[in-house]
Amino acid sequence: MAKRDYYEVLGVSKSASQEDIKKAYRKLAIQFHPDKNAGDKHSEERFKEATEAYEVLSNEKKRQAYDQFGFAGVEGMGGGEGSHDFSSVFRDFEDIFGDMGGFFNSFFGGGSSSRRRGQSSAYQRGADLRYNLEISFKDAVFGTKTEISYTKRVQCSACSGSGAESGSGKKMCPTCGGTGQVRRSSGFFSIASTCATCGGEGYIIEHPCKVCGGTGTERRTQRIKVTIPPGIESGKRISIPGQGDAGPNGGAPGDLYVFISVEPHTYFEREGNDLYCVIPISVSQAALGAEITVHTLDEKKIKVKIPAGTQNGKILRLKNEGVPFLHNQNKRGDMYIKIAVQIPTKLSVKAKKVFQELSETLGEDSAPIPVRLRDL
């Protein structure tokens, strides 16, 4: 029987969106699903026809080739009968097909490969681990090295990771014959599923190791040195390969991720690679100008000139006294000083007299005119 046009099969127009194509196939797949139509050859053909159409039209490259050249355009691209890759169909509609890992392979003669012996969790990678580390503000800016202690799964010392007691070893699974899968028939096709006896391993352990219970791993406290790079910020993480949990049955270890939390500083605040602090000065220093000594975060003493007539809130900048760039240690941000003019709250008799004379000399206005906030 001649093949029908793929758009006709799904009941959509050639301008249909991917969402429309997906909805159309879902409807047909549910209607003609083999579990609902056991033994019905017509439903079987309609199901296969719809699945083949969706496999082509859901792929932009295949759809373009089909639109231009028809069935000939998708030959050799997984578009000819028996040469489809239906793994994407299975992923898209797993809610319809459920646990049918070997379905497309057995039903259509191609597609997603079932798990073979030797590809089971025997070679599964170990879990990644997380460690939360709080460091000081200064250590985050300039970097440091610190030692951390955490618990991880390591290869079992009693069975060397085999999971079996010494001298007992492993035995081929009698249920699946070492494949890790069992097949069951359902109408005109068979379904491959993970073997319940061995959990897909292909083997069983008759005498599990008493220390690890057959997992091949045990918990142990680990101490390692962690290098904190200069310029790191809160929320950043440091990846340490191979320091996570060991994989089951000799599998590769996972990684350790150290998440950084930075303690606030008493005087300094950080914004990107710049540092900010507030320096108090007296009224006379602000009015007359002065030279003051400022302490930087790395404990340097820098002379800073305060210009005469400096107003409260004025910002002064110290170049290259900020935070090193995380990926360029030769470059640093700046340090910004906000001036806070301190008004004395207690005055001696002599000080009061001086301020009164100053007020008379300056001719201060007892009825000042308001100014706009943005002009301050």
- The domain locations on the chain are 6-108, 123-165+214-263, 269-365
Which CATH topology does 269-365 take? HSP40/DNAj peptide-binding domain (2.60.260)
Q: Do the domains at 6-108 and 269-365 have one common CATH topology?
A: no
Mean confidence (pLDDT) of the chain: 83
Which CATH topology does 123-165+214-263 take? HSP40/DNAj peptide-binding domain (2.60.260)
Question: Maximum Cα–Cα distance for the chain, whole Å?
Answer: 114
pLDDT at 326: 87
The residue among 111 and 240 whose pLDDT is bigger is 240
With CA atoms as reference, report the closest residue to 325 among 237, 231, 190. Answer: 231
pLDDT at 111: 41
Q: At what angle do helices 60-69 and 41-57 cross, to 10 degrees?
A: 100
Label residue 361 by pLDDT band (50, 70, 90): confident
pTM to 2 decimal places: 0.58
**Tens of pLDDT, residues 290-316:** 999 999 999 999 999 999 999 999 999
Residue 362, CA distances (Å) to 214, 353, 365 in order: 90, 14, 9
Label residue 41 by pLDDT band (50, 70, 90): confident
Q: Which neighbouring-strand residues pair with 191?
A: 184
Q: Is the pLDDT of residue 163 over 60?
A: yes
Label residue 45 by pLDDT band (50, 70, 90): confident
**Which range is least confidently modeled, 106-110, 199-203, 223-227, 345-349?**
106-110
pLDDT at 121: 46
Label residue 100 by pLDDT band (50, 70, 90): very low
**Which range is least confidently modeled, 78-92, 190-204, 229-243?**
78-92
- Is domain 6-108 given the CATH code 2.40.160.60 in the classification? no
